[in-house]
């Protein structure tokens, strides 16, 4: 299943990417992510591995990820592998006249029984994912346009 979303943000690609590139900052706008742990970080970010916990219907699902593309202020892509699905996600930024367009493309492949169920429930699942992404993008837009600075919440 493929899902795509885009939003225009009155901000620079640098400010938008600031909220994308660091998993601790991303948690401020990605409401479904409850926890992220970097397992191994590389100097170029490509190949960096991490573990992410996604909340679905009140339950956490553990996903293992690897960064597959990283071009500062332009593109971030990663592959996630979990018990129920695999997800390939790509964020692309494009700036024109002070507006940064952020596009997210995701390919979700379900496993096991969910693979069969997803055939029948694909419209419902896709609608839920699009609504979730639009809400998260709205929060990201607010953070970027208000020039909110990240504060380490562990302090």
Residues 6+ away with beta carbon under 8 Å from 106: 2, 3, 4, 87, 88, 89, 90, 129
Least confident of 3-17, 24-38, 116-130: 116-130
SS3 at position 53: strand
pLDDT of residue 32: 85
- Residue boundaries of the structural domains of the chain: 2-145
DSSP tag of 154: T
Q: pLDDT, tens digit, for every residue of 55-111?
A: 877 788 999 999 999 999 999 999 999 998 999 999 999 999 999 999 999 999 988
Q: pTM value?
A: 0.87
Contact 14, 73 (CB under 8 A): yes
Q: Which residues of 95-132 are buried (b: 16+ CB within 10 A; e: fewer)?
A: beeeebebebebebebeeeeeeebeeeeeebeeebeee
2-145 CATH pick, 3.60.40.10, 3.30.530.20, 3.40.50.800, 3.30.200.20: 3.30.530.20
pLDDT band at 155 (very low <50, low <70, confident <90, very high): very low
């Amino acid at each position: 299943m493929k899902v795509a979303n885009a939003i225009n943000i009155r901000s620079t690609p640098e400010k938008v990417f600031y909220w994308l590139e660091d998993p601790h900052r991303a948690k401020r706008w990605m409401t479904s992510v409850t926890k992220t742990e970097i397992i191994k970080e590389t100097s170029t970010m490509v190949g960096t591995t991490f573990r992410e916990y996604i909340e679905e219907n009140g339950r956490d699902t553990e996903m293992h990820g690897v960064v597959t593309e990283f071009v500062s202020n332009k593109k971030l892509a990663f592959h996630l592998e979990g018990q129920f699905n695999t997800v390939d996600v790509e964020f692309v930024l494009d700036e024109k006249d002070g507006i940064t367009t952020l596009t997210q493309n995701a390919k979700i492949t379900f496993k096991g029984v969910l693979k069969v169920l997803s055939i029948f429930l694909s419209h419902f699942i896709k609608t839920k994912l699009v609504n979730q992404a639009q809400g998260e993008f709205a929060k990201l837009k607010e953070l970027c346009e208000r020039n909110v600075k990240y504060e380490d919440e562990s302090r």
